Structure 1
Amino acid sequence: MPGRQPEDHDIHATSAPNPQRRELLACSLAALSLSLAPVVQAEAQTLPKPASGRIERLANFPSKLIDARHVDVWLPEGYDEAVRAGRRFAVIYMHDGQMLFDASTTWNKQAWNVDATLSRLVRERRIPDVIVVGVWNNGKFRHSEYMPQKFLPLLKPEIRERLVREGLQGKPQSDAYLRFLVEELKPAIDARFATRTEREHTVLMGSSMGGLISVYGMSEHPQVFGGAAGLSTHWVGGFQANSHIPLAAFNYLRDHLADPATHRLYQDHGTTELDAIYAPYQRFVDEIARDRGYTQANYLSRVFEGTGHNERAWAARLEIPVLFLFGRS
């Protein structure tokens, strides 16, 4: 199972040669690029070596809902002593789990360096104790598991059929993926580790398509996840500016975005590479959030000028969403 796919990395926005074909081209490009994902078995089995704390791997974690995959759980320095002292830990569930901790094990030699940021923030007492559950993506089925399934009925039939056939490998799986997180993985994590199980201590986080499934997951399971962070959230669903997929997303959010009285939501994007096409879509999502009742207290949307669509950029600003979701006043 490879890491976050190269189709999400260092891609510059271009205009489709024929505007009438733009939406279909977006779906076709998504399907094409998925077939180019690197498969490096040696790297796939290497346990990450974080700069701080340790990784416990739940290898080939089984599921009745989706394919088995590794789950890498990061535990901070002093975790065992803290547990003996009766302390419990908030949990961040992160997608693309093979890209989070150790650049030497990733396909592009980049990582979020999550352990470094969280260790520092805890040490500075700016956030509570926290662990990270890094759920590996499923290679060529990454798009299938991360594309929100309830967007699909809101698409035109011809767009939906081509997206499902080519982009989603004929098998939409995001609802099953979220059920896996909620019904199978979270109970196992709560049983094995000293977690704070309540909604307000459990959040989702990801980038690109991982940002999309994070917002969707919080909205589909609002009783489980009290917050979500999407970095460079991929509202376009493909590689070209288009109207169909974002409009489906907007209509879903208008009716189903999680209750602002009990949830926090973070969004951002850069301005280069694939992020260069995100601004108009994210601005509209910001408006939808405000219409749903989100305010500065529970909604933050940021733009990072000159940054692109890659793990180095997300690592550099990781502190901001973490503090927003968990920061102590």
Structure 2
Amino acid sequence: MNRRQLMQGAAALAVPCAVVAGADALPQLAAGRLERLVLEDATLGPRPVDVWLPPGYRADRPHAVLYMHDGQMLFDPRSTWNRQAWAVDAVAAPLIADGILRDFIVVGLHNHAEQRHAEFFPQACWPAIEKTAPGQRYLAGQLKRPPLSDAYLRSLVRELKPRIDARYATDPRPASTFLMGSSMGGLISLYGLCEYPEVFGGAAALSTHWIGLYERNAEIPGALLSYLERKLPAPGTHRLYLDRGTAGLDALYDEAQARVDALLAAHGHRPPLTQTRVFEDADHTEQHWARRLALPLRALLARADDAPA
């Protein structure tokens, strides 16, 4: 990996989803429709939340709910800081129409760019690395302040989810409630599953930023691994999807992801409920996440007769 690739990945990690001019306008969609709510939080401040309803959404039919982080980046590349997006609507709508995926809606929480690392880094892991050299570099460089992820998850679970379940036709049970994100969004998705296994039935973490910094280190992945060993739900109870690429910033995740994969296998987390994948030449960008989005969607939301093998 050359310096240019690393800096591109670092830029994506540092400021994905920063609010851009005209962001008050709803993103334009290829399919379905979008509604915007505002989630108020005394600790974190207000944030927009975009709710995607698929074509044919019906108020008399319960839908699963996929909560996604970095909501600014999910739909319309014309509205994002780097002119890339996950294209969630374009990927999901035909899979629902073809009966491959369950009926579901997407709830995309916008991030606060200036405190994204603080909101997404697993707070329970911070004491283990706070006084280490990598932890201090992380605090000074990306984190900026002690983690706020417990407050972020409380806001999602206690404030946002009840609003979503009251306003839309949802199935509120854990078996129909999921988390998904990439990079730091992958970390908060896994943390949410571990902290609230009674709320969420599964999580997908793409290009998970195990290393915190922009360099391999043992301390930050070690703290995250130790947390997962203590807190992962029992095998066979929840759906879990993990992946990484091999290019750009993703190339630095190889050692950490291998350790996580070994932990999952040792604790009995196996297909089809647990999946972990590597994508050759895939980089740390929304374009690459969009190209493989159908796979984590199927891992979490496939109909029973189309579950991934």
TM-score (structure 2 length as normaliser)? 0.91
- Structure 2 counterparts to residues 123-272 of structure 1, below 5 A: 123-155=97-129, 157-159=131-133, 160-272=135-247
Does 2:32 correspond to 1:53? yes
Separation in structure 2 between the aligned mates of residue 42 and residue 114 of structure 1, nearest angstrom: 22
Deviations 1:134-175 (A, max 9, x none): 000101100100111111122261444453354322231011
- Structure 2 counterparts to residues 268-287 of structure 1, below 5 A: 268-287=243-262
* Secondary structure of the corresponding residue to residue 101 of structure 2: coil
Asked whether the 8 Å contact 2:62–2:169 carries over to 1, the reply is: yes
Q: Partner of 1:12 in structure 2?
A: 6
Asked whether the 8 Å contact 1:266–1:324 carries over to 2, the reply is: yes
Separation in structure 2 between the aligned mates of residue 93 and residue 303 of structure 1, nearest angstrom: 23
Asked whether the 8 Å contact 2:20–2:80 carries over to 1, the reply is: no
Q: How many pairs are equivalent?
A: 298
Separation in structure 2 between the aligned mates of residue 171 and residue 154 of structure 1, nearest angstrom: 13
Deviates more, 1:39-48 or 1:97-106: 39-48
- Structure 2 counterparts to residues 70-109 of structure 1, below 5 A: 70-79=48-57, 82-83=58-59, 86-109=60-83
Residue 65 of structure 1: how far off its partner (Å): 3.8
Aligned-residue CA RMSD (Å): 2.0
Separation in structure 2 between the aligned mates of residue 223 and residue 40 of structure 1, nearest angstrom: 33
Deviates more, 1:39-48 or 1:194-203: 39-48
**Residue identity opposite 1:130 in structure 2:** F
Separation in structure 2 between the aligned mates of residue 256 and residue 43 of structure 1, nearest angstrom: 41
Separation in structure 2 between the aligned mates of residue 54 and residue 264 of structure 1, nearest angstrom: 27
Separation in structure 2 between the aligned mates of residue 209 and residue 156 of structure 1, nearest angstrom: 18
Separation in structure 2 between the aligned mates of residue 101 and residue 53 of structure 1, nearest angstrom: 11
Q: Partner of 1:302 in structure 2?
A: 277
Asked whether the 8 Å contact 2:102–2:301 carries over to 1, the reply is: yes
Asked whether the 8 Å contact 1:200–1:225 carries over to 2, the reply is: yes
Residue 194 of structure 1: how far off its partner (Å): 0.6
Asked whether the 8 Å contact 1:94–1:135 carries over to 2, the reply is: yes
**Residue identity opposite 2:28 in structure 1:** K
TM-score (structure 1 length as normaliser)? 0.86
Structure 1's unaligned 5+ residue stretches are 1-9, 14-28
1:100–1:39 Cα change, 3 Å? closer
Asked whether the 8 Å contact 2:247–2:284 carries over to 1, the reply is: yes
1:38–1:214 Cα change, 3 Å? closer
* Secondary structure of the corresponding residue to residue 43 of structure 1: coil
Structure 1 stretches of 4+ moved >4 Å? 36-41
Separation in structure 1 between the aligned mates of residue 248 and residue 184 of structure 2, nearest angstrom: 15
Asked whether the 8 Å contact 1:257–1:292 carries over to 2, the reply is: no
Deviations 1:177-210 (A, max 9, x none): 0111101110111111111100010000000000
Deviations 1:234-267 (A, max 9, x none): 1111110111100001111111112223201100
**Residue identity opposite 1:231 in structure 2:** L
Amino-acid identity (%): 48
Structure 2's unaligned 5+ residue stretches are none
Separation in structure 2 between the aligned mates of residue 46 and residue 158 of structure 1, nearest angstrom: 43
